Structure 1
């Protein structure tokens, strides 16, 4: 004792600091720090130990201040500070410390796993490759922990082939190595490779752990491979891993993805402990199965058992209510979210706007928007999409402009939502404005934005601009997708440019892209409206022979229209009679329209009578039949049809024209 103060040796101070670091006792560490300062004992050695202690306790400002005050930092100090930054997700700071370390201190096998992880989280393959080079030069390339970190980094950066190269060169793999490869293959879409790696692991005698099971089950779910999923379940039971909560959750999710809700529920009901993830997974399973009632019942049971739904749970249920147009249930969930004070969560706000939009309550969509505490990109995107969905195109455009004025940056989802509004409005000046914005903001590198812009220019009548955008798609896309090709073909079809539509269609086939139902609809429509009957029939036969899975009822409607316009009405009627689908108003409407053009009363009557059965309240069908009779001078029949309309109580809706001038629209 000296003057009432306890004087400790440097060794005792060091021992206490090590203890406080291990127990993360930040307050005791601060008290001891004060004691050291007031005692005048703050040496470089203790300063280094204090920096390490604060870093282990997660107190970044004190740890970094003490670290920077050191005249010569030790390897331990560097490693602990780098670890601290990585632990707190300050990856760039971790890299900066590592760079400052070079030339002053030699990194070791403890340093590199953390620095490599930082590079992985920054998604910097360039930095990761540089670190890999330093690892090899420093003779740490055979260290298992370093190798595992490299595997994770390459997988995280999407460089699967480099991860495989590191893995194949490992002489001493552990379960972490195998798990990293399995989960990496899954995240990068290499499902079969993930299963093959799992098989190699099991048959190679490596003991799987919880992480193995949790990594491989999502692969089985994605592939809907129920047989292998059950084998993994059996293996987990044999190894005593199936009782772990995360394994149970993964099993529930796997069975759900394999469309076996009964087996998912079997696992769920036998879980001793269920967390919010367990409940949410099961609820999402019922939602994907289209069973909203069971999903809502499970949510009530969840709360009864004392588990509070999180934002993801509520957002999923709200979205399901929207898809089912169950407004009342959606409003109940909205009320619950307000009472639990989670209604300001962005995921819930966007789900509510989407739900009210699908239920045709755009007024409530705007109410949610006005109540949003902070209007973020997701909220704006949802309200813009809601306006488009409810045919409020000009309102959608105004909201987009307002979003930009409030300095909220749109993302690709925002643009995918608003670009259809530009297409419907079909204003060339606005189309050029949005094109300039997309170019300046870098969104033209997105194939989705380019596809939408092609549609916008097509609707504005500028097919030349649409084709220029198509030709300028960045070369980094190895193959223009079917949606992009279909958008351009549709543009030519809208403007009855059959030859160019056919040219693009043939070019698409030569490029190896497989057409879908939309592609065939567009090209058949183009042939129909330009009189290319034989070519249209050739494409139809090609579709039936080589792309039968793409055949839809509307393709037969297009061919009926094609034949009808060419006055081949008997063939059109025979095709309707032979359609493998249930015929609808579109088929008979196309035939009736053709009969009007060619004044064929016999088949016109057949088509009209069928339409009177299918849609008795559509006055247009009656008018078309009257037009056929009138063109042939059969005025008595015209009078009979008119009396039929009167007896049913139908009234023809008046026409409507819109004129736009000086930015305003008049009816």
Structure 2
């Protein structure tokens, strides 16, 4: 008790000696600062509107320390009692709200109040205000503060200019950032790094690498931050050679810390060099969760699901706790795994680690169950978690992927009814489902919605509408939308070609293909599938054969099973069954059910019993439970009058416990 009284009395003595009191506050001892503040309150000093002038420096210093330590309410409380606060205090309040408090709006309010006072901002004020603009993506306000900094004479200040570049990059105004950078008299390594990382974040990886080349040419010595900035750009562009060069330079200069090594693992993985990624990973002395996650994600990305799961077990054995990104990567690996049990085990681990509510994990769970064709479990995850835009998108995409287009559309309507924000990813998930429905009324309604919400500024949305209208038979509207596209890419060309092809306009589809090639857009496997399909249904045998031969020899596109199935169907419909069979015999890979099915269908049309039996034999081995193949073979026998063989096929079906599914048709009379 007496000790407390002595301390209290000493503090009172300190108030009588402002110099000693200020010295104690400047020591930054949190306890001393809190005690002096408490004494000021208990003594009634802070109850008056204007404290004594000799105590104002002490109050200012306490407010500064509170602000910089994140105690913003206490800092504001003192700030409001100080008349004519100095520049240091203003800067501390702006910085505290921008950096420590995560309150950029408040930081900008303090900046505005300061500017309206008689004080002028200095080279510390502008960076804090610019950071607040960057956090809020307020490019226009940031530009105004930029102008204020120029008027205040800070055009050549390195610190301010670096923050201007960072602000413009955060607001996606890369041109403005580049102008600031080019006008700098002295470009520090921080400025170079900010430019590289900014271009990379804004998906201008090529420009990021150009800046890096300029940095090397200028003789600026790179640091670890440079390496971490440039490696993602190498990964985005697939520039493995440059990535290896950066690795070599980083090793020579002793920059291979944990951050750099993690970035190297990610770069090698995204460039498809898993062995080199694993070498870097195995050579890391201290592997943190980021390194483990990068390597697991690399295996999952390239289809090595077993390796990804095995590495996760090793990670747990070494006592490294996985994070939400780790679990999302593992769930991605389980999406391609043949056994759903692995995915359920990872789901259980997410629950035990309390990660199941993380948006990345939640979305990955829905995606994993959808790809496993278990929409019941998919919907359970969706129903029990907090529904956010990303989870709605995953759910809609899951229904579309599992041929449940109506459910996808219904969930989109529910999403709108519950006022969940819709983004471009939502539209990208919805468009394929609407295309599958081939409903012209739905296409018109969706078109109106996309126009009203401003999504038609996106090439992806317009291309999706082209596909929907084309499949719904509205080729005039599809062509009008296609013509409106400023940048006609591979996807949009393929959509319009497929649209004309599926409605019997094969000649138009081929002419569009020729125009596509003339415009320097390289065709893909899907483009040729659409063309060969249209030739098959239009009976254009010679044109189809020419396109099939041009694929590899002219355009460098390898034929796949879909292309061969189209060609077998094309030749079969024309009655050239022996050519079709010879083509199957010359396939560079094993024919699948679609190839043999196309031959069997042609044999039914032309009554070729011998080849029909051969095709059916292969189909019985590939898909023994498909009753359609047995029915088609029976029809061939019936057409040839071989009734005993018809009964034999029926007996084979009965012996295998198969029953012909009854036919059905659907007419939609009204769309609600």
Q: How does 1:474-489 map to 2 (within 5 A)?
A: 478-489=486-497
1:146-191 CA-to-partner distances (Å, cap 9, x unmatched) read: 2222332343344445444443443322221222233234334454
1:493-547 CA-to-partner distances (Å, cap 9, x unmatched) read: 2222324434543443444432222122212322332344444444445434431
Residues 334 and 340, structure 2, Cα contact 8 Å, conserved in 1: yes
Alignment gaps of 5+ in structure 1: none
Classify 1:306/1:37 alpha carbon distance in 2 versus 1 (closer, same or farther; 3 Å). Answer: farther
Classify 1:158/1:304 alpha carbon distance in 2 versus 1 (closer, same or farther; 3 Å). Answer: same
2:262 alignment partner, one of 249, 254, 276:
249
Q: Distance in 2 between matches of 1:221 and 1:663?
A: 51
How far is 1:211 from its partner? Answer: 0.9
How far is 1:241 from its partner? Answer: 2.8
2:663 alignment partner, one of 656, 660, 666:
656
Classify 1:16/1:432 alpha carbon distance in 2 versus 1 (closer, same or farther; 3 Å). Answer: farther
How far is 1:479 from its partner? Answer: 0.9
2:369 alignment partner, one of 356, 363, 369:
356
1:90 alignment partner, one of 103, 117, 134:
103
Instruction: State the match for 1:305 in structure 2.
Output: 318
Q: Distance in 2 between matches of 1:516 and 1:411?
A: 28
Residues 11 and 36, structure 2, Cα contact 8 Å, conserved in 1: no
Residues 25 and 57, structure 1, Cα contact 8 Å, conserved in 2: no
Residue 140 in structure 1 maps to residue 154 in structure 2: yes
How far is 1:487 from its partner? Answer: 1.8
Instruction: State the match for 2:131 in structure 1.
Output: 117
1:24-46 CA-to-partner distances (Å, cap 9, x unmatched) read: 98845753652575376725744
Q: How does 1:177-196 map to 2 (within 5 A)?
A: 177-191=191-205, 193-195=207-209
1:172-225 CA-to-partner distances (Å, cap 9, x unmatched) read: 222212222332343344545544544554565433322122223333444555
Classify 1:273/1:538 alpha carbon distance in 2 versus 1 (closer, same or farther; 3 Å). Answer: closer
Q: Which moved more, 1:191-200 or 1:417-426?
A: 191-200
Q: How does 1:239-638 map to 2 (within 5 A)?
A: 239-242=253-256, 244-372=257-385, 374-473=386-485, 478-549=486-557, 551-569=559-577, 571-599=579-607, 611=619, 618-628=626-636, 630-631=638-639, 634-636=640-642, 638=643
How far is 1:628 from its partner? Answer: 4.8
Classify 1:273/1:74 alpha carbon distance in 2 versus 1 (closer, same or farther; 3 Å). Answer: same
How far is 1:635 from its partner? Answer: 0.9
Q: Distance in 1 between matches of 2:191 and 2:464?
A: 43
1:151 alignment partner, one of 165, 187, 205:
165
1:223-243 CA-to-partner distances (Å, cap 9, x unmatched) read: 55555444434443443332x
Residues 24 and 56, structure 1, Cα contact 8 Å, conserved in 2: no
Residue 643 in structure 1 maps to residue 648 in structure 2: yes
How far is 1:247 from its partner? Answer: 2.5
Q: Distance in 1 between matches of 2:428 and 2:542?
A: 37
Instruction: State the match for 1:34 in structure 2.
Output: 41
- The number of aligned residues is 655
Instruction: State the match for 2:4 in structure 1.
Output: none
1:382-424 CA-to-partner distances (Å, cap 9, x unmatched) read: 2333333333333333333333333222333333333333333
Residues 52 and 77, structure 1, Cα contact 8 Å, conserved in 2: yes
How far is 1:588 from its partner? Answer: 4.1
How far is 1:58 from its partner? Answer: 2.0
Classify 1:300/1:101 alpha carbon distance in 2 versus 1 (closer, same or farther; 3 Å). Answer: same
Alignment RMSD = 3.7
State the TM-score, normalizing by the size of structure 1. Answer: 0.85
Residues 63 and 79, structure 2, Cα contact 8 Å, conserved in 1: yes
Residues 325 and 358, structure 1, Cα contact 8 Å, conserved in 2: no
State the TM-score, normalizing by the size of structure 2. Answer: 0.85
Classify 1:341/1:79 alpha carbon distance in 2 versus 1 (closer, same or farther; 3 Å). Answer: same
1:333-354 CA-to-partner distances (Å, cap 9, x unmatched) read: 2222222332222222222222
SS of the residue 1:635 aligns to: coil
Classify 1:173/1:642 alpha carbon distance in 2 versus 1 (closer, same or farther; 3 Å). Answer: same
1:254-283 CA-to-partner distances (Å, cap 9, x unmatched) read: 343344444444443444433221222222
Q: Distance in 1 between matches of 2:274 and 2:43?
A: 63
Classify 1:273/1:544 alpha carbon distance in 2 versus 1 (closer, same or farther; 3 Å). Answer: closer
Classify 1:95/1:539 alpha carbon distance in 2 versus 1 (closer, same or farther; 3 Å). Answer: farther
Residues 532 and 566, structure 2, Cα contact 8 Å, conserved in 1: yes
Residues 608 and 625, structure 1, Cα contact 8 Å, conserved in 2: yes
Q: Which moved more, 1:292-301 or 1:27-36?
A: 27-36
Q: Distance in 1 between matches of 2:213 and 2:85?
A: 47
Classify 1:442/1:169 alpha carbon distance in 2 versus 1 (closer, same or farther; 3 Å). Answer: closer
Q: Distance in 2 between matches of 1:589 and 1:240?
A: 62
